[in-house]
Amino acid sequence: MGYMAVTQTQAPAGTAQRILDVAEHLVQSRGYNGFSYADIAGELGVTKASLHYHFASKAELGEALIERYSARFTEALERIDSTTSGAGAKLDAYAGLYVDVLRGDRMCLCGMLAAEYQTLPERMHGSVIRFFDHKLTWLASVLADGQSDGELSFDGSPADAAQTVLSALQGAMLVARPYRDLARFQAAAAHTLASLV
């Protein structure tokens, strides 16, 4: 699905979108604290003043990144809902979103931000939490439907199971990354989802 991959924008989108594209790649590969405006300016061939014109501070840029990333993730979940039947298939498609990111040698943007949460600007905290809350709500709904239909079986509430799935996939992504081993993530994801059947 590739929703989390950097998308090159058309010329009318302009500098702000190109800044977001480069910053997103840097956060997903290095982390929020691993890049500066100088890195973005150098890659785009613009001045740091130009970056500040579009995003007055790095915190403002960070919030814009989360907002855009969250919107694309939401669109991906809506596509899963509209094109996929059954809770198991929806969960498989959800895990596939993580695979797409790892194929690009990146991490989930908000997963990276969560790892740096204590050092992020405070104004970004709520945006990171809202991202995960939305994913947990979607997962809990899918899990509840699967439980109701008899397709899935798990202990505890759908909300508890959603927390387990999200945590397992984010953790599996983190562990697979240094090995550059997609199969390691896929095995962990398959095991996690199989435990719900």
Q: Give 38's contacts (C-beta < 8 A, 6+ positions apart).
A: 48
As a whole number of angstroms, the distance between CA 164 and CA 22 comes to 32
The predicted model gives 114-131 an average pLDDT of 96
Specify the pLDDT at position 98.
Answer: 95
Is residue 68 over pLDDT 70?
yes
The predicted model gives 153-172 an average pLDDT of 97
Question: Degrees (nearest 5) of the Cα angle 118, 192, 152?
Answer: 120
As a whole number of angstroms, the distance between CA 23 and CA 14 comes to 15
Question: Degrees (nearest 5) of the Cα angle 88, 183, 3?
Answer: 60
pLDDT grade, residue 197 (50/70/90)?
A: confident
Specify the pLDDT at position 30.
Answer: 95
Specify the pLDDT at position 36.
Answer: 96
Is residue 7 over pLDDT 80?
no
User: Which domains are present in the chain?
Assistant: 58-194 (1.10.357.10)
Is residue 10 over pLDDT 50?
no
pLDDT grade, residue 3 (50/70/90)?
A: very low
Mean pLDDT, all residues of the chain: 92
Nearest one of 41, 17, 39 to 30, comparing CA atoms:
39
pLDDT grade, residue 184 (50/70/90)?
A: very high
Q: Which tens digit of pLDDT belongs to each residue from 123-146?
A: 999 999 999 999 999 999 999 999
For the chain, the C-alpha Rg in angstroms (whole number) is 18
The CA-atom distances, in angstroms, between 130 and each of 70, 107, 134, 135 are 9, 18, 6, 9
* 195: three-class secondary structure by DSSP: coil
Comparing 4 with 87, the larger pLDDT belongs to 87
